Each structure stands twice: as structure tokens, then as C-alpha cells.
Amino acid sequence: MTELVPTRERTPLEVSLVRLREVLGRARLPLPLPGAVEQQGAAESIGAQLDDYVLPRLASIDAPMLTVVGGSTGAGKSTLVNSLVGHRVTEPGVIRPTTRAPVLVHHPDDARWFTDDRVLPGLARSTGSGRAATGLQLVPLAAVPRGLAVLDAPDVDSVVVENRQLAAQLLEAADLWLFVTSAARYADAVPWDYLSAAAGRSAAVAVVLDRVPPRAMRDVPPHLGQMMSERGLADSPLFAVPETAVDADGLLPDAAVAPIRGWLSALASDRSRRAAVVQQTLDGAVGSLVARTPSLARAADEQAEALDRLRSEVDRSYAEAVRTVGVQTEDGTLLRGEVLARWHDFVGTGEFFRALEQRVGWLRDRVVAAIKGEPPGARDLKVAVESGLESLLLQEADAAAERAESSWQSTAAGRDVLGRTPADLSHSSPELRTRAAQVIRDWQGAVLQLVADEGMTKRSRARFLAFGVNGIGVALMIVVFAHTGGLVGAEVGVAGGTALLAQRVLEAVFGDQAVRRLAETAKTELDSRVEALMAEELLRYHRLLDGLAVDAGLGSALRDAAGAVDEARQVLPAGSSGVAGSSALRVPEPAPALTAGPGAGPLGGSDDADDLGDDVVDAELVEPDRARELR
């Protein structure tokens, strides 16, 4: 971004525009929503115009007026520029495209305005010439009056994409557009796209109709003038240059370019008119930026909303997985299959109770000693619980992934995001099984620690030690898995009294209230770990969305920044004359430099025009708003 001159205090308009530029730097519209590509281009265009023209011009409001000569392929722009300055500074030719590097011609005393990166900071400077030169070619020439610079741009309809882009960039950086078209192509769509854009932002424009056959001078220029009037360019001068031969240096006769040369010289010599032209284009450019920003802000809002929808869809999918696991780990669902079989193995043979009673009696007799027991089958039951819980987690994680991927596939934005990763997001991640197993083991360890801490504080320590930490722990897990429905109704029927028996065992050790508290604590611990596990899976989707770098607050920030610019632009920048721009473009009456004669030499010169013979038709100035009368 252009850095303003630090020794001068910024105006409120500059401050607000710099802020707008900073906000534009955050613009990312990656999702394929309607209009997103166009608005991303608009963001880049607005930023480029701020960098290339608006901010540099505000920082140097008294710099020479930059006149960019642009137009269609073969319109004769380079020949016109050479003829206006009286020297061959740019290379014309019949091979298209001709202009590869733009040429900027200025008075030697004005060099300081162009040698740095004040204007067009993205283009390297060069003092070379010819086809081998690159970047922006700077040509100091005393024939150009102070306060004026003329830049020869590439063709706006060049077959080379880079040339078209550069031409558009240069025209956006112009204080004055000198738009050149030919009698054969003045109605083409591409030139009118540019002219309409210029009219839309009130840019200062003059049009040169080049290579007009002498016999068509009475018909074609008035027709073009009428078209300009109908398209908002009634105040723009129109110059008609007749088709004629060039001299040995490739220059047009003075009579063919005298009106244009004289008009530019008059603008350059009149500081107030020159400032008014700059002010017109500058204010129009700023107004255009303000007018274009709301559409960009809406596009930014749409991106954020679409991103929120995608995020919400996957969030809901995994929230449903967490909810389902939460329900099925407390409604008796897990008390089936292998878990139920291992529980029956654990308590159904009677070994558990015999071991319990024997150890309780032994501990009554031998209170001086305490041993930690583990009834037969406790370890198998613990493994069965782990396996059943792991299967449930993997099943629900896969279901969540399938729902999330399916929801994204249903929209263009979602499909675009999915296409940005080689990973298969329709299934859980390959690492989930390992992570799930670790989560379950950690939870089981936390349950064992929970009952161990509780058991050491109870008077019924004998029963606790007789049953053992593992035995008490798996019994608590069984109670947790039937926590919602209590111990009556469907769960008892499904589990065959499994949870009822486990609860009675725990109540014998800890008491009713302690069992309820332990079960709630263990269930909360399980839910928390399951939620964290699913959140890790969900992160796969969030990382994709975060990688898009969509700024949720961009739309609001753009509106605020544009509003501040609109308010500040009501105050003219320092150095502005305050003269209405359209009047500055008018050719003054009388106009002594509009015909061959004094002033028809190089820009700002006073050489007399050569006698070119009766076969040469002089250039003419056509008033666009009088074109209808002429026809």
C-alpha cells in the first residue's frame, strides 16, 4: 500500500481512505457464491485505485496532471503521443500489440514527481526507450509544459492479457483520460465499456477520433459526439483527427493534432483549470469507491453467513453424536451382548458373593490387616465395557461424519470446501479408534480412582476391600449405563436386573446417597471425555473453514470505513481550487490554438504550422452536446 509523505499531516479524507484500504486488505471471498468472483475483483480494483491514484494524488495534490492516452488496438495512440510532443518517444508499428511498456513523457523540472513510487508504485521505473525497455519508461522532454505529463498506455483490447490489465490500471491512475479510437472502430463494445466506466465515476475525459477519412469528417465525428452525449459524456471534448500520411519521423502533420495540443497546453498553463480537472477526477474516483463498497460489504456478509451455515451443519452433526452417546450410555443400551454376558459371569456363579462374604468375615476377625481383592471375572467385565463403549463411539463418530459430509455436498459452497482437502471427511479419521480406546481407558481409570477415594473414607471399608477397586469400579460403570431410567421399568427388563444388582452391591458398600453421587460424577466425566473426543473429529471441518480466512466482521468494517470516507470527502483537499470540473474541460472561447497556426508546434511551443497542401484536412473539435444539431 502507498506510504504517504510523513512530513505532511494527513487530511481527514486521507485518514479515512487509508482505513478503507486497510479493511480492503482483509477481503477474502473464497466461497463460490453468486457474484463472489466479481466482488473479489472489485475489492482488488478498489484497492489498486487507492494505491495507484487516489492516495498518491491526495498526498501530492499539486503534482503535474497525468494525462493517460489509451484506447483500441490500431487507433494510433503512439503516433498521436509522438506527434503531440514533437518527438519519437514511443514506438508505433503495424505489428500488434505495439506498446509493451508504458511511456510517460514529462518536463525535466517535473521529474521528481515520477521518479519515486508516488504514482503507480507497482511499476518499476526505467529511463530506457524502445521495445527492449521494461516497466514505466520515463522520458523527460522540454517540449512538454510544466504541470503536464503524458502517458502512452497499451491497448485496452490487446490480445495479450497482461497488456489489457496494464491498460486498465493506467487509465484508473489518470487525472485525465485522452481516449483514442478510430473511425472504423469507435462503436466497438470494449472502448465503450471504458468510457461508460469513466462517465460513471465522473472522470475527466477527452476523446480523440483518429484516422477519419476526409470525406467522413462531416458524418462520423458528429455521430460519435451524439453517442457520447447519450452516454453521459456531453461535457467531454471530442477531437477528430483526419486520416493523413506521417512524415519521415512518423509524426502527423501539425494541423492534424493542433487542437489537442493547444487544449492540453491551455490546461497545463492554467493552474486553476488544471486543479479543477484533477479535483473532478479525484472526487469522482473517491465517490466511485464509496458507491462500490456496499456491494462488496454485502458479498462479505454473504460469505460469513455461508461459512456460519457450513460450520453450524457440522456442529449439529457432532452435537447429535455426543447426544446419542450420552443417551445410550445411560439408558441400558450398553447392558447387552458381551457386557451382559461378562456381568453374569462375574456375579452369576456365586463366586463373587462367596468371596465377598468370606473376606468381610476375615476382615472382621483380622482388623489389623487389610488386603485388596479382585473377584474372578472383574478384568473380563472391564474389557467388555471398554469394547462396547468403543464400538458405540466409533459408530456415532462415523454417523456424524457421514451427516456432516452429506450436508456440505448439498451446497456449492460446501462442495467447494470439501474439494480443498484430499481427506475423506465422510468417515471418521483413521486415528479415532486409537484415541477412542485411550479416552475409554482414561475414563475407566478415573472411575477406579473415584471409587478408591470414596472407599477409603467409608466405615464399610471391609466390604470395599473385599470386593476390590476393580470390582467396585465395574459395578459403578454398570450403574452409570442404566442411570437415566433408574432401576425399574424397561431397563431392568432389558438388562435382566443387571443394573439393579450392581446398585445393590454399591449401596452395601457406600450407601444410597453416595452411589447416586458417584454415578452422576462418573457419567459427567464420561460425557465430558466423549464431547472432547468428538470435538477433535469436528476440528477437521473447522480447520478447513478457518483456512478460508473469511473475516466475519468485514462487511460491517467496510460499511463503516466507506461511511467515514463519504463524510470526509465533503471537504475539498488542500490545494484544490474548488472550480467545477466540467467547466475546466470546456475549450475556452475564443480558442486560438484549435486550428493550424500559432501554438500548433510541440506541446507548449509556438512554431508555425507547415503548409501541408489542400489535400490535408485540419483537425476539428466537435462539441458532443451539439452533435445532434450537426447531424
- What is the rounded distance in angstroms from the CA atom of residue 128 to the CA atom of residue 126? 5
Average pLDDT, the chain: 81
The pLDDT value recorded for residue 2 is 47
595, part of any domain: no
By the 10 Å C-beta count (0-12 exposed, 13-18 middle, 19+ buried), 592 is classed as: exposed
**CA contacts within 13 A on the Cβ side of 88:** 11
Does residue 596 surpass a pLDDT of 70?
no
Q: DSSP states of 75-104 as a string?
A: S-HHHHHHHHHTS--S---SSSS---S-EE
Q: Max alpha carbon distance in the chain (Å)?
A: 140
Residues 6+ apart with CB under 8 A from 298: 555
528: in domain = yes
Shared domain for 105 and 16, answered yes or no, is yes
What's the structural domain count of the chain?
A: 2
- pLDDT, tens digit (0-9, with 9 covering 90-100), for 252-269: 999 899 999 999 999 999
30-39, 118-127, 135-144: range with lowest mean pLDDT: 118-127
Asked whether the predicted pLDDT for residue 329 surpasses 80, the reply is yes
Q: Are residues 450 and 577 in the same domain?
A: no
**Containing structural domain, residue 514:** 329-549
377 and 518 in a single domain? The answer is yes
pLDDT at 74: 84
555 lies in some domain: no
239 with 341, same domain? no
Residue carrying the nine cell digits 490546461: 267
Distance, CA of 469 to CA of 358 (rounded, Å): 17
Q: What is the mean pLDDT of residues 150-175?
A: 88
Rounded Cα gap, residues 170 and 69, in angstroms: 9
Q: Is the pLDDT of residue 29 over 50?
A: yes
Q: Do 236 and 96 belong together in one domain?
A: yes
Same domain, yes or no, for 109 and 253?
Answer: yes
The whole-model pTM stands at 0.77
Give CA 25 to chain center in angstroms: 8
Domain final position from 524, 549, 574: 549
Q: Would 596 be classed as within a structural domain?
A: no
Question: CA–CA separation, 512 vs 114, rounded Å?
Answer: 89
Q: Are 10 and 18 in contact (CB under 8 A)?
A: yes
**Where would I find the H helices in 350-431?**
351-365, 378-409, 412-418
594 within a domain of the structure (yes/no): no
Q: What is each CA distance from 91 to 178, 242, 305, in whole angstroms?
A: 18, 21, 52
* The three cell numbers locating residue 415: 462442495
Same domain, 272 and 404: no
- The alpha carbon of 190 is separated from its chain's Cα centroid by a whole number of angstroms, namely 27
Which segments within 147-267 are labelled E, that is strand?
148-155, 176-182, 204-212, 238-242
pLDDT in tens, 85-138: 999 988 764 444 444 678 999 999 999 999 888 788 888 888 755 554 567 889
pLDDT the model gives residue 367: 32
Shared domain for 239 and 382, answered yes or no, is: no
- Closest C-alpha to 631, from 216, 111, 79: 216
**Residue 125 shares a structural domain with residue 93:** yes
593 in a structural domain: no
> Could you tell me the CATH number of the domain that includes residue 199?
3.40.50.300
**Best mean pLDDT range from 432-441, 573-582, 587-596:** 432-441
- 593-609 burial by CB neighbour count: b if 16+ within 10 A, else e? bbbbbebbbbbbbeeeb
Q: What is the mean pLDDT of residues 36-45?
A: 95
Within a domain: 116: yes
Per the document, the length of the chain is 631
User: Is 387 exposed, middle or buried, given 0-12, 13-18 or 19+ CB atoms closer than 10 A?
Assistant: middle
Omega before 242 within 30 of 0, i.e. cis: no
- The reply to whether 216 and 358 lie within a common domain is no
| 293 and 397 share one domain | no
H or E segment at 71?
strand 65-71
In a domain, residue 157? The reply is yes
476, 505 in Cβ contact below 8 A?
A: no
Cell of 520: 452422576
> In angstroms, how far is the first alpha carbon of the chain from the final one?
49
What's the distance, CA 375 to chain centroid? 65
If one compares 276 and 584, the residue with the highest pLDDT of the two is 276
Q: Which helix (H) or strand (E) holds 450?
A: helix 432-455
Are both 432 and 572 inside the same structural domain? no
